[in-house]
Amino acid sequence: MSLFGTYRLQELVNKGGLAELWMATDEDGQHIAVRKMHEHLLKESSAPKLFNRGCEILAKLPPHEHIVRYITHGKIKKFPFLALEYIEGANLKALILREDPVLGELLSDILYAMAAGLEHLHDSGVMHLDFKPENVMVSHGGRVLIVDFDTALPLPKKPEKLDKNSGTPGYMAPEQLRGEPMDQRADIFAFGLVAYELLTQRKPFAGDTPEDGVRNILDDNFRIKSIREHNEYVPADVEQIIMKCLQRDLFARWPSMTFVAAKLRVALGVKFVAA
């Protein structure tokens, strides 16, 4: 255990590219999470700006049941930090990899919660731009929360090119990979990728290497298998909703997560199981 300002850092939970995440206690003895920037990135001009921008975007977001709760952010000594609610659980990537039974129990809840969380982000004028299984947490009590806003940006009124293309290539939309104008529909494509993986335990564009997966996203001749080919228990209307999210042409996707969430709210009245 070590002191970091008024926080007691109890356990290192995770290390990412930009920061490390600690389970900590505040001065009142309450458990929280503290993200602390890596020391070797402090002198890089872009890293602190990226970290702080993500903190500021999260700070301005209206609270939502499927978005991690912001507490505060700032700098302690030389380290930028972000204090958040502590989520006792696992991210969706870990649950998929170990084929955790909780996926079968909470499948519909996770799918709808992800859509509702992204809908709230977009309604609040924010694009996530790094939506992937690692950035969806599922608590031991079954709460589903979207985390990590380092790459988030204000939502443009119409598709715009980004100055810098950040995110995870295997979960990017074609327009994002190509550096073309984009908007909230990049998140809708990423949602489709994560939902497909959740329902089938397979990546729709997977190849022998991660680079193959990116090439397959960009290749108009590469056709993904339908969800029901992998998991016959998924209702046809759920499959149709998700496959529309995965259209390469952003104008062929759902125009907003509001449509996706509303359609799923109706379709998920049907019970189904994991593949």
Q: Which of 158, 147, 215, 226 is nearest to 192 (CA)?
A: 226
Mention every residue, 6+ apart, whose C-beta is less than 8 A from residue 118: 128, 131, 146, 187, 188, 191, 257, 260
Looking at the chain, the domain(s) classified CATH 1.10.510.10 span 89-267
Side by side, the strands of the sheet bearing 144-146 are 89-91, 136-139, 144-146
Cut 0.85: pTM above it:
yes
Domain with CATH 3.30.200.20 in the chain: 2-85
pLDDT of amino acid 167: 86
- pLDDT (tens place) for every residue of the chain, 275 residues total: 799 999 999 999 988 888 999 999 999 999 999 999 999 998 877 888 889 999 999 999 999 999 999 999 999 989 999 999 999 999 999 999 999 999 989 999 999 999 999 999 999 999 999 999 999 999 999 999 999 999 999 999 999 998 777 789 999 999 999 999 999 999 999 999 999 999 999 999 998 898 999 999 999 999 999 999 999 999 999 999 999 999 999 999 999 999 999 999 999 874 555 55
Whole-number Å distance between alpha carbons of 130 and 165? 11
The superfamily (CATH) of domain 2-85 is Phosphorylase Kinase; domain 1 (3.30.200.20)
Handedness of CA 61, 65, 67, 71 (dihedral sign): positive
DSSP annotation of 44 reads -
- Give yes or no for a contact between 50 and 66, defined as CB atoms under 8 angstroms apart: no
Amino acid at 263: K
**Closest Cα to residue 94, out of 33, 129, 138?**
138
> Cβ distance 267 to 238 under 8 Å?
yes
The pLDDT of residue 270:
46
Assign domain 89-267 to its CATH superfamily: Transferase(Phosphotransferase) domain 1 (1.10.510.10)
Structure tokens at 145: 């929360």
